[in-house]
């Protein structure tokens, strides 16, 4: 059985590239297409988690990510 966690992916276009970011882990990537940016972000997050496990920091990182998670929407008058 594989454990799974849900993380946020934010993708936006900058020039002719797509930038992708996982705000919980502060990991970012990019790609030529939306799909490529998302796939590259997934790979970057997997590598980040793998490295955290190797350094013995994975449980600490998970606790930090999920204990501070608070998402809201701001309404600002423009």
pLDDT in tens, 42-61: 999 999 999 988 998 888 87
pLDDT in tens, 12-48: 999 999 999 999 899 999 999 999 999 999 999 999 9
pTM metric for this prediction: 0.78
Sign of CA dihedral 73, 58, 5, 37: positive
Say which residues have a Cβ less than 8 Å from residue 22's Cβ, sequence separation at least 6: 7, 8, 9, 10, 28, 41, 44, 45
- Report the C-alpha gap between 56 and 59 in whole angstroms: 8
- Give me the phi and psi of 14, to 5 degrees please: -125, 110
The structural domains of the chain, with segments of one domain joined by +, span 10-67
């Amino acid at each position: 059985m594989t454990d799974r966690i849900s993380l946020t992916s934010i993708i936006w276009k900058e020039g002719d590239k797509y930038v992708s970011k996982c705000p919980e882990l502060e990991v970012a990537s990019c790609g030529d297409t939306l799909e490529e940016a998302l796939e590259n972000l997934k790979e970057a997050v997997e590598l980040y988690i793998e490295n955290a496990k190797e350094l013995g920091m994975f449980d600490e990182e998970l606790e930090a990510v999920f204990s501070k998670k608070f998402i809201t929407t701001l309404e600002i008058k423009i």
